[in-house]
A and B are shown apart, each in its own frame.
Chain A
Amino acid sequence: MDEVLYAEKFTILGNDFEHGGDVAARVKAILKQLGLGGDVIRRLSIANFEAEMNVVMYADEGELELQVTPDAVRIVLADRGQGIPDIELAMQEGWSTATPEMRQRGFGAGLGLPNIKRNTDELEITSTPGAGTTLKYVVHFNG
């Protein structure tokens, strides 16, 4: 197991659109303070923001766990919510179950999970319909 240089957990509330993005912004500030490279920070921040908005839009509550090791940043985001019945379908660009309010917010076009995959080196999704979803993703510093 890699040495953990920094770890912190953040709570994300479902349906809290006014604060949707706060956690991604806080994590970005931490990664900047730790002196990580701009490209790593940008990729992670985009993935975190999309993942955070997914919790805001589709779950009751979620917890994002940040772990910085000497060679990578690892994120685990576990939520309590409706879950994803068909992950393969949800990974397709353009597939969406968003409501009009979500679309008015600039999200919900079926790009969230594909955006997370595009910006990370590893992505694992597990979900239990009616219970919740867990995303695990990693960005390597030499990736």
Chain B
Amino acid sequence: MQLREVIVLLGGEVIWGESLVGGISIDRCYAADLMSDVLAFSQPGALLITGLANIQSTHTADVADLTAILYVAGKRPAQQVCDLAREKGIPLLTTALSMFDACGILHRAGLRGAHHRSVPN
């Protein structure tokens, strides 16, 4: 799915990276506020969905090779975070939807989880 389509589905907007968004497509997402979980279990190339808007969210996306960050619940990172995202070439998106609703809409649209350890039944 094109990242642009994600933004439309969620009624979201681009905080930074407008010029990059058009060239990115994703098929997996990882949703968490716990960055250690993201570092431990995410797959490279995923879209990070989080309510954590501090500088560590962008460092996490960078070191874990995640494609872009979607902030939920209307969260907006500070300028310092946007500056780091620009330096690393990581687009930042935001939506007013909650984590649950954003994930539900994206899952229904065909995106899947990027959790690389199998989940117990």
**Which positions in A face B, CB cutoff 8 Å?**
17-22, 24-25, 28, 38, 42, 45-46, 48-50, 53, 105-107, 109, 111-112, 114-115, 118
Contact = CB atoms under 8 A, between A and B. Distances in A.
Interface stretch (B6-14, B20-28, B32-40, B94-102): B32-40
Contact of B36 (A17, A22, A38, A107): A107
A25 B59 contact: yes
Contacts of A109: 34, 36-37
A29 B59 CA distance: 12
A20 B55 contact: yes
B80 A18 contact: yes
B36 A45 contact: no
B64 interface: yes
A50 B35 CA distance: 10
Nearest to B78: A18
Contacts of B84: 25
Given A50-B39, A106-B36, A111-B37, A18 B55 contact: yes
Contacts of A25: 59, 62-63, 84, 88
Contacts of A17: 54-56
Interface in B43-65: 44, 50, 52, 54-60, 62-65
A111 B42 CA distance: 14
B31 to A, nearest CB: 13
What size tier do the contact residues of chain B reach?
20 to 34
11 contacts: A17-B55, A21-B60, A24-B63, A25-B88, A42-B44, A45-B64, A49-B39, A50-B36, A106-B60, A109-B36, A111-B39
Contact of A49 (B37, B54, B59, B88): B59
A18 B55 CA distance: 7
B92 to A, nearest CB: 16
B36 A115 contact: yes
Given A21-B59, A46-B39, A106 B52 contact: yes
Given A18-B80, A49-B39, A50-B36, A105 B56 contact: yes
B64 A106 contact: no
Task: From B40, B60, B65, name the one whose CB has the most chain A CB atoms within 10 angstroms.
Answer: B40
Task: From B33, B56, B84, B88, name the one whose CB has the most chain A CB atoms within 10 angstroms.
Answer: B56
